[in-house]
Amino acid sequence: MFLYQLLNFFFVSSKKEEESSYDLSLYKRGDLLEVPRTLFTHFGIYLGDNRVAHLIPDILPVISRDKSSIAKMVTNNRLLLGVITKAASVRVDSVADFAYGSEILINHMDKVCSQPPLDGDEVARRAEKLLGSVTYSLLWYNCEHYVMYCRYGMAISYQTYQFCTIVRKIVFSQMSAYVTALCGVCTMLYLGCVTPLTVLLTLLVSFTIWMAA
């Protein structure tokens, strides 16, 4: 009990929950909602009646069976620990809890995605069908994959693509090839293991990075 109380205290957010100031008349069933949250953009599907279905990482269900606590707004602490442990769920929250105090964009992805959106009721039906626990993956299955599948029929993530593009530019660059080769040579000299095999491996890794750049 003490451990749970200690963990529960850790999960308390400094951000106080306020009454919803969002105009619900702006949202239609099946709308794709997005808000900036922490270091990324968070996405959800509006179901109507002040309900938003969204996939969100959450550590609390892993360490507690208290449904009333789990049902409360997912704080950033719970979210970040959920990302690390890959624990998540598709859940339904109020618009205010989903937005977490941020401004909401409506159907902004319609301008980005080449695929036309599905009918609003079909979008909401898909969103509701997927409710429950899921294994979270920052690159392969996040909140954007979920909403894109529900609204457009294809599970893709533009955030993931942009992230991978940036990583590729950093890792697979000519400078990285030079640095890799230099580090390999320095390591071999420091350890005194300059052999044909280690030289070949160093050259092979550096060449692979060079060709991928």
Mean pLDDT by 10 residues, the chain (213 residues): 37 41 94 86 96 96 92 90 93 95 93 92 97 90 95 86 62 71 81 82 75 58
Question: Environment class of residue 122 by beta-carbon count within 10 Å: exposed (0-12), middle (13-18) or buried (19+)?
Answer: middle
Which class would CATH give 24-163? alpha beta
- The reported pLDDT for the residue numbered 141 is 92
Q: Cα(74)–Cα(118) distance, rounded to whole angstroms?
A: 29
The side-by-side arrangement of strands in the sheet containing 40-48 is 105-106, 32-37, 40-48, 51-57, 87-93, 132-135
Residue of 143, 150, 183, 186 marked catalytic: 143
Q: Cα(91)–Cα(131) distance, rounded to whole angstroms?
A: 6
pTM of the model: 0.71
Query: Domain extents for the chain?
Result: 24-163, 173-212
- Cβ neighbours around 48 below 10 Å, total: 15
Tell me if residue 143 is catalytic.
yes
Instruction: State the DSSP string of the chain.
Output: -HHHHHHHHHH--SSPP------GGG--TT-EEEEEETTEEEEEEEEETTEEEEEEE-SHHHH---HHHHHS---HHHHHHHHHHTEEEEEEE-HHHHHTT---EESGGGGT-SSPPPPHHHHHHHHHHT-EEEE-BTTTB-HHHHHHHHHHS----HHHHHHHHHHHHHHSSHHHHHHHHHHHHHHHHHHT---HHHHHHHHHHHHHHHHH-
